[in-house]
């Protein structure tokens, strides 16, 4: 039986509240919640072992601590009749290298099916998933996403869709959505994307799609009856597609980027740029992941402004470190040589390369 669609007759609920907590927020985004439970890999035959919030947190002995499922929330309860474990408020679920956060979550003990709703974010070593609703089988790690998006870290690819299904860490299917390798901050429109009704994705292979459209700035411009798009296992060093443009203020614009894959956890992009009516310059962008809890990105852009007869520059970036699951430290820097720089960089297109804040 498909674990996503398993249903059971509803019986009278016999609920037992097993944890409550209070959410606290400080300037460095410190969060602490009680009601922490370590659960064995499902399915299991015994009832869930939990502790009340007023008691010291006790972690049951596990044959393999790395495979234990751990749930933290402001309030938790276990229904002994339906064998459902429910968590509400600032929910954090961890199992090995997989981490999920949501507003609410329900775990079906027998099937191992966990459904999360509200500001859902699922992260592992190869993917980031955001959704309104997400269902994951904790035994197989197969995932079903409703109205969400997936970021494939190895290839820097975004998939958005009405329905997204993950069969494994490298195999996906997406319906009624878009995909792009173009970077864009949340809320911004990527320079290009492909829209589709149904697509099958295999990392290390290809993206296959039918009835596809090429979109420029979210506007469909070219129909593509059949699309085959390569999806290598890892990013590769090489020149990027150049950007060419023209306007009356900046003149002819040419930007040529070079991508350098320093290591699986670091990359560097160097992009010289020419503006025939304004000067020459470029930008350097460095991204890194120290470990699952620590990462950052930094960008320096500058150009010799022939109109103003000066060199203008900006340094921006940030570093994020998760000290614990409920303790986050974040540092950001944004420095510019003058206040008009951002407007001029935006006109030249350089600002689209700025790291997301």
Q: Is residue 62 part of a domain?
A: yes
Mean predicted confidence (pLDDT) in 322-336: 85
State residue 348's pLDDT score: 54
- Examine the domain organization and report whether 205 and 283 are in the same domain: no
- Examine the domain organization and report whether 242 and 192 are in the same domain: no
Mean predicted confidence (pLDDT) in 259-269: 87
70 or 14, greater pLDDT: 70
- Please, what is the Cα angle at 261 between 259 and 264, to 5 degrees? 150
Instruction: Give the pLDDT band (50/70/90) at residue 24.
Output: very low
φ and ψ of 4, to 5 deg = -70, -30
- Examine the domain organization and report whether 82 and 146 are in the same domain: yes
What does the radius of gyration of the chain's CA atoms come to, in whole angstroms? 24
Residue at a domain's end among 167, 197, 230: 230
Mean predicted confidence (pLDDT) in 198-202: 86
Q: What percent of the chain has pLDDT over 70?
A: 74
State residue 104's pLDDT score: 95
Mean predicted confidence (pLDDT) in 262-287: 91
Strand partners, 175: 163, 198
- Examine the domain organization and report whether 280 and 223 are in the same domain: no
- Examine the domain organization and report whether 215 and 279 are in the same domain: no
Residue at a domain's end among 230, 258, 289: 230
Whether 193 has a pLDDT exceeding 60, the answer reads yes
329 or 69, greater pLDDT: 329
Mean predicted confidence (pLDDT) in 171-193: 82
State residue 89's pLDDT score: 92
Number of domains in the chain: 2
Residue at a domain's end among 230, 247, 263: 230
- Examine the domain organization and report whether 171 and 282 are in the same domain: no
State residue 333's pLDDT score: 94
pLDDT digit string, tens, across residues 48-103: 333 333 333 333 334 454 467 889 999 999 988 888 999 999 899 988 788 999 99
Domain span at residue 277 reads 238-353
State residue 56's pLDDT score: 32
pLDDT digit string, tens, across residues 150-180: 888 777 788 999 999 988 777 889 999 998 8
Whether 352 has a pLDDT exceeding 50, the answer reads no
Q: Are 74 and 53 in contact (CB under 8 A)?
A: no
pLDDT digit string, tens, across residues 105-139: 999 988 889 999 999 999 887 788 999 999 998 88
- Examine the domain organization and report whether 192 and 281 are in the same domain: no
Closest by alpha carbon to 127, among 168, 187, 95? 168
- Examine the domain organization and report whether 163 and 275 are in the same domain: no
Closest by alpha carbon to 17, among 74, 90, 71, 69? 74
Q: Is residue 340 part of a domain?
A: yes
- Examine the domain organization and report whether 177 and 314 are in the same domain: no
Q: Are 175 and 182 in contact (CB under 8 A)?
A: no
pTM of the model: 0.53
């Amino acid at each position: 039986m498909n674990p996503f669609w398993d249903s059971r007759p509803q019986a009278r609920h016999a609920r037992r509240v097993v944890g409550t907590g209070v959410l606290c927020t400080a300037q460095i985004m410190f969060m602490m919640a009680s009601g922490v439970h370590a659960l064995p890999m499902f399915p299991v035959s015994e009832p869930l072992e939990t502790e009340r919030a007023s008691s010291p947190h006790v972690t049951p002995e596990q044959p393999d601590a790395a495979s234990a499922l751990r749930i933290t929330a402001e309030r938790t309860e276990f229904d002994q009749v339906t064998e459902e474990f429910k968590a509400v408020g600032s929910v954090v679920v961890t199992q090995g290298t997989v981490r999920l956060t949501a507003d609410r979550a329900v775990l079906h003990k027998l099937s191992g099916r966990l459904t999360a709703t509200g500001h859902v974010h699922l992260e592992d070593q190869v993917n980031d998933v955001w959704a309104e609703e997400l269902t994951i089988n904790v035994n197989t790690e197969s995932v079903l996403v409703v109205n969400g998006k997936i970021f494939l870290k190895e290839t820097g690819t975004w998939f958005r869709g009405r329905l997204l299904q993950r069969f494994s860490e490298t195999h996906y299917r997406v319906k009624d959505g878009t995909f792009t390798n173009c970077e864009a901050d949340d809320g911004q429109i990527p320079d290009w994307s492909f829209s589709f009704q149904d697509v099958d994705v295999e990392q290390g292979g290809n993206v296959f799609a039918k009835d596809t459209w090429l979109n420029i700035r979210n506007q469909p411009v070219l129909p593509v009856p059949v699309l085959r798009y390569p999806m290598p296992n890892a990013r590769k060093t090489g020149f990027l597609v150049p950007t060419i443009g023209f306007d009356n203020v900046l003149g002819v614009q040419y930007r040529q980027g070079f991508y350098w894959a320093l290591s699986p956890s670091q990359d560097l992009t160097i992009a010289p740029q020419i503006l025939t009516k304004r000067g020459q310059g470029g930008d350097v962008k460095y991204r890194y992941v120290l470990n699952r809890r620590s990462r950052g990105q930094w960008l320096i852009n500058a150009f010799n402004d022939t109109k103003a007869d000066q060199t203008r520059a900006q340094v921006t970036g940030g570093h994020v470190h998760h000290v614990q699951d409920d303790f986050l430290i974040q540092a950001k820097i944004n420095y510019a040589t003058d206040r008009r720089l951002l407007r001029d960089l935006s006109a030249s297109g350089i600002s689209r390369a700025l790291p997301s804040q």
